Amino acid sequence: MAGPYGIDDAIVSYAGSSINAHITKTYPTVSQEVEIEEHTPLGATVAQSLFTGLTTYGEVPISGPYTETVDGILGAAARNKTTAALVITWGGTKTTTFSAVGVKNYNRIVAKGAVTAYEATFFTYFGCTVTEA
């Protein structure tokens, strides 16, 4: 068994470069959900479902301290509506690669007693493929 892994093993790469240094508060969550539809035949005593064939990858949120550097990467992507590859290395050689993600939300928060922060949310863009390796 390889692992267990912690945040010291994780790498998040966006557009070919690691953005680990910018992720300090909200670490990425990759949610994978297979869509199903209930089809319970007459006479059945247990509810049954069928796969519809579509897999949904939830939006991937990250956050950390706001800097000019992160604004140039993620803020620019949100404002310009560009897409890029997102690769998450969980640990060892285990990776999840999204071939094309967009930035749906990009927030900047200035608050008393806190470091000015950014929040960004990735979504799977049209034509995106997801590769588990």
Partner 1 sequence: MAGLPDLKFITFGGYDITGLVQGLNDAVTNETEEVDVAGDTILTSRYVGSAAAEVKITGFYDEDLSPAFEAAGAEAVLMYAPLGNGTGLSCECCSAKLLRYERLIEGKALHKAEIDFLGKSSTATGGAVIIDHALMLAPLAARGAAGNTDATDVEAPAQTTDGARLWVAVTALTLGGYTNLTVALRDSADGLSFAAVAGGSTTFTTAGGKMLYVPGTVRKYTSVSWAWTGTGTNPSATFVAALKRL
**Residue position matching structure tokens 């995106």:** 128
Nearest by Cα to 76 from 14, 11, 13: 14
* 27 versus 125: smaller Cβ distance to partner 1: 125
List residues binding partner 1 (CB under 8 A). Answer: 35, 53-57, 65-68, 71, 75-76, 78-79, 81, 102-116, 123-130
Least separation in angstroms between CB 41 and partner 1: 26
- Which uninterrupted H or E stretch holds 38? strand 32-38
* 78 versus 85: smaller Cβ distance to partner 1: 78
* 94 versus 104: smaller Cβ distance to partner 1: 104
User: Cis before residue 41, ω within 30 degrees of 0?
Assistant: no
